[in-house]
Amino acid sequence: MEENAFDVFVIGSGIAGQTVAKSCVEAGLKVAIADNREFGGTCANRGCDPKKILLGAMEAYELSKNLKGKGVTKTPKINWGKLQKYKRNFTVNVPVATERVLKEKGIHLFHQSPKFIDERTLLVEGKKISAQKIVIATGQVPRKIEIKGSKHFKNSDDF
Note the pTM of the prediction, 2 decimals. Answer: 0.81
Task: Give CA–CA dist 79/68, Å, rounded.
Answer: 20
- HEC per residue, 83-114: HHHHHHHHHCCHHHHHHHHHHHCCCEEECCCC
Q: Does the pLDDT at position 25 exceed 90?
A: yes
Q: Are the C-beta atoms of 109 and 33 separated by less than 8 Å?
A: yes
Give the percent of the chain with pLDDT over 90.
Answer: 70
Q: Does the pLDDT at position 1 exceed 50?
A: no
Name every residue whose Cβ is closer than 8 Å to that of residue 65 and which is 6 or more positions away in sequence.
Answer: 75
Task: Give CA–CA dist 47/95, Å, rounded.
Answer: 14
Name every residue whose Cβ is closer than 8 Å to that of residue 92 and which is 6 or more positions away in sequence.
Answer: none
DSSP conformational letter for 140 = -
